[in-house]
Amino acid sequence: MQQIIVDIIISPDEWIKLYQGSATDVHTTARDGRSVRFPARILSRFYLKDGIRGSFRILFDDAGKFVSVERLA
């Protein structure tokens, strides 16, 4: 199993765009420098009134398919 760690800040306004489907993917840079893109829906359980903020570990299988996400901080 492989993993990436990302630091994310998504404002409530940005989240609404993602949630409503005008944008569907989050584009960011992992801590190791890799450019990554993943479906915003995997972060939905971490949404709070001030958006999504924190560090997250995203696990994926050897074929590159999403397995799980967890908040680190």
CATH number of the domain that residue 66 is part of: 2.40.50
The amino acid that residue 8 corresponds to is I
**Domain encompassing residue 32:** 2-71
The contacts of residue 62 (CB under 8 Å, 6+ apart) are 1, 2
Look up residue 16 and give its DSSP letter.
Answer: H
Domain tally for the chain? 1
Statement: residue 56 has pLDDT above 80:
yes
Entry pTM: 0.87
Q: Report the SS3 class of residue 12.
A: helix
Cα–Cα distance between 58 and 37 in angstroms, integer?
11
User: Tens of pLDDT along 1-55?
Assistant: 899 999 999 999 998 888 787 778 899 999 999 999 999 889 999 999 999 999 9
Q: How does DSSP classify residue 50?
A: T
